[in-house]
A and B are shown apart, each in its own frame.
Chain A
Amino acid sequence: MAEFTLDCLGEACPVPLMKTEKKMAELSVGDVLIVSIDHSCAMKNIPEWARKQGYNVEIEEVDDGEWEVVIEKTK
């Protein structure tokens, strides 16, 4: 159950999602990825993508305009 972080602060629209996709492909089942974002579009489209893939997702607003998206690779 390894934990990985991905820093996407300052990245504009499609970039956080694309980086997340690539990173998730490297993880094994049971691993957790924490993506730090500050773009509100990504706050919507990363969890949506992750849920479509069947992963567990949790979003937390750690600071004004900054979120951490926690994705658990379940399969």
Chain B
Amino acid sequence: MSETSQVSSASSIRRSSASSRRKPKKNQIPIGILVVLFMVVVGVVQAQRDPMLGFYWMMGGIFGFILQKSRFCFTASMRDPCITGSTSVTRAVLTAFAITTLMFTAIKYGYHSMGLPIPGMSYVTPISFATAVGGILFGIGMVIAGGCASGTLMRVGEGFIMQMLSLFFFVIGSLVGAAHFGWWKEKFIVHGPSVFLPDVFGWVGAVVVQLFIIACLYKAAMLWEEKKMGGNQE
């Protein structure tokens, strides 16, 4: 509460010189309504072809909206601890992983308990040298480009030209990667171990182990921020 009175004294200092800067903003609500209508029409048309397409369209729009409003950013989660010591986004990503762990375990276990083949098992891929190289390359790239996959798409939607350029090269890079994937697979990936935690620890054990590791990382992130930024912590 005391902050508001001090903030208004800060703004009273600048008012005199800055008031000329304020231009009347164009009202974006009509465009907003048109875009929403457009999205609904496209969604309905696509759903006629295949209901899943309509679902994907809707999910894409919702994801983008949430990412944009929350400024959730995987790039920031990895980069900020190194640049400013702030781990708030890192902890947000860890929280997202924890929730996802619970949900995906529920889905997979649901199928398993009904005796059906578990969906998504093709994503249990071996970890190998290829993963490390890929991670480092992507990390360097995403900090320079100012976003990873979801962040880039979201910023293209916001209108950032730089990310439109990133997206273009993202596609090209993926094509190059896909063309060489066979080589990486043969030389490195198949030689790596492939671990599905529920096979090792059982369904409950796997969730406990994963959440425990995430909790340790969360605590480490909090300690990192205190050490790097010090001062007032909430």
Contacts and interface: CB of A to CB of B under 8 A. Distances in A.
Contacts of A18: 83
A41 B73 contact: yes
A14 B14 contact: no
Contact of A63 (B25, B73, B83): B25
Classify the interface of chain B: helix, strand, loop or mixed.
helix
Classify the interface of chain A: helix, strand, loop or mixed.
mixed
Nearest to A68: B18
- Most chain A CB within a 10 A radius of its CB, from B73, B84, B143: B84
A45 interface: yes
Interface string B28-65: 10000000000000000000000000000000000000
Contacts of A34: 14, 18
B10 A58 contact: yes
Interface residues of A, number: 35
Contacts of A17: 83-84
B42 to A, nearest CB: 25
Contacts, number: 85
A52 B231 contact: yes
Interface stretch (B74-82, B171-179, B200-208, B209-217): B74-82
A16 B177 CA distance: 33
A48 B75 CA distance: 17
Nearest to A51: B232
A11 B160 CA distance: 11
A45 B71 CA distance: 9
A53 B160 CA distance: 30
A64 B10 contact: no
A72 B3 CA distance: 11
A56 B3 contact: yes
A54 B83 CA distance: 19
A29 interface: no
